[in-house]
Chain A
Amino acid sequence: MKYPSQQVAKPYFIAALALFVGQIVFGLIAGLQYLHGTFLFPELPFDVAHMSHTNLLIVWLLMAFMGAAYFIVPEEAQTELYSPRLALVTFWVFLIAAALTIVAYLFVPYAQLAAITGNAALPTMGRGYLEQPLPTKIGIVLVALSLLFNVTMTLIKGRKTSINLILVGSLWGLALLFLPAFYFPHDTVKASFGWWWIVHGWVEGDWELILGALLGFILIKMTGVDREIVEKWLYIIVAMTLISGIIGIGHHYYYTGAPSYWIWLGSIFSALEPIPFILLIVFSFKMLMQRRREHPNKAAMLWALGTPVMAFLGAGLWGFMITLAPAQYYIHGTNFTAAHGHLAFFGAYAMVSLAIISYAMPLLRGRTANSAAAQRWEMAGFWIMVFSMIGITLALTGAGIVTVFLQRAADDPMGFMQAQDKARVFFWVREFAGVAFFIGLLVYLRSFFIAGEYEYADEMKQALAA
């Protein structure tokens, strides 16, 4: 760490991990309710567990992205952050608003929450991922404005690297793409069409730019490869993201009331959407091969290389399997989509967040890398979480296929709940894999509590002895 003001990233990263734990707890509850529907009912209905699970996901990823921005932008700009105090105040506002929102979900019935927060005046509630009451949404905008002001001012007074331009630019994109959350047309087809501006715009567009910038930064720092090479790769990758992904939004418009031409446009362009992820893998491993130094933080390198691989599997491969219109005709709205959602969110955005945390946290704690023992715990957590998430994905894919063959493509189609009952074994596998994931997360978190830093001399002695 080169600039003291980068320290403000630390509370963001810690809060991100705490909210991540909360996300998994609600996921385990919701997963169990698939199997035992009366579990925690009526105190915690499924929809509340579900929205807590998804909203905590979004909030912890945003926390991690913000922490990453406050860490990376000053270092790339080679100057102190414009206002560390503003960043710290913003952190508390965001954390308290997020916590209050989850508490409100848990203790206030949703219709009542809508009534007391002025939803009737400007309806925004009741859409996936955007369940937050109006005050929370306004809070998100204020937090975003504070972040944008701070990082943009820092960028203006400092060095303008391509990584910083892509990162700050995509943070502007993130904020702008949230604004349609305040526009909820009466017409359900229009509402769905516009909802994807936010959801697709974030996860299949703008956030991929953030991912690229974070990964590029980590790889420059860890491999010592020439910045020019890394940044050229980055531009090609993000170019392919937008060239394929903007019209690729059409794969959300096949069966939701939009005109039929989206069936062709969406299929063609979204078939290209795996390309940036393939490029990301090639890029990352090429940088590894061309590395000019051996960075002692092996755990961060593992996250940085794991991210493009898992992102390709989740976003690229699982996304491709459900994206072509004839396949989606049967798969749309099944747990196959949830399988894709889980592996893509984890493989791309959770993992890149954990990668930057893995790289930055030791520096924020005053060391180049954690002790070898701590890194072993962290890497064990990596492998347990990665394989558990693959287990969750395969289980949900199985459940989706059951629905496809019994409910969607059958000569004598079964009803929804009947088909769900036939998929019970897959929901059990998902739940066990979920518990394993939670154990992996605890193993990962354990690594933060192992004291000491990386000792070159010890490692060298061990290496020579072996």
Chain B
Amino acid sequence: MQQVFTKAMARNIFLGGAVFFLAIYLLLSYDTWQRIPERDHADKMTPAVLRGKYLLDTNDCIGCHTINGEGAYFAPELGNVYKRRGPEFIKAWIQSQPSGVPGRRQMPNFHFTGNQLDDLVAYLQWLSNIDTNNWPPNIQG
């Protein structure tokens, strides 16, 4: 057995397997890249959406929340929050933080301006229309 299956053969399976599957992955990624703009309505990424996204990133929102299930599991899902709560609730909620309720998980106040809140909501609205293969299972996220 040891003579039949040598270290060189094992190495070649490793190198060959790696190159083969990497090539397949790159082809699939190229295809995915072409399809994403249609699935997430990239044409609807207005300047307001991009500004809102930048605010979300630079305030580390995914340090507590998830977007399409990715982030931290301390606070609710944001991918569908626009559909769950609506724009006015979201703005009022962000402005009223922190709740200060003893023992309850706290969200900081980020001192956003009215325009920034509009940008955030624009981004959250754009997020809520991505085709995520029907995830999450229900509106609660």
Which positions in A face B, CB cutoff 8 Å? 33-34, 36-38, 41-42, 45-48, 50-51, 110-111, 114-115, 119, 123, 125-128, 131, 162, 184, 186-190, 192-193, 195, 228-229, 231-232, 235-236, 238-239, 242-243, 246-247, 249, 253-263, 265, 329-330, 332-335, 337-338, 407-409, 413-417, 420
Contact = CB atoms under 8 A, between A and B. Distances in A.
Interface string B108-141: 1010000000000000000100111101111111
A131 B18 contact: no
Contacts of A37: 103-106
Contact of B13 (A229, A236, A330, A333): A236
Nearest to B45: A186
A416 B69 contact: no
B135 to A, nearest CB: 3
Per DSSP, are chain A's interface residues mostly helix, strand or loop, or mixed?
helix
Given A257-B131, A259-B35, A333-B77, A127 B7 contact: no
B92 interface: no
A242 B58 contact: no
B137 to A, nearest CB: 5
A127 B66 CA distance: 11
The 6 closest A-B pairs by CB, nearest first: A47-B63, A126-B57, A333-B69, A37-B105, A255-B135, A235-B10
Contacts of A184: 57
A188 B64 contact: no
B87 interface: no
Contacts of B33: 190, 193
Given A189-B40, A232-B7, A258-B36, A38 B104 contact: yes
B127 A254 contact: no
B70 interface: yes
A413 B67 contact: no
A409 B7 CA distance: 49
B98 interface: yes
Contacts of A50: 63-64, 72, 74
B52 to A, nearest CB: 11
A239 to B, nearest CB: 4
Contact of A232 (B10, B18, B60): B10
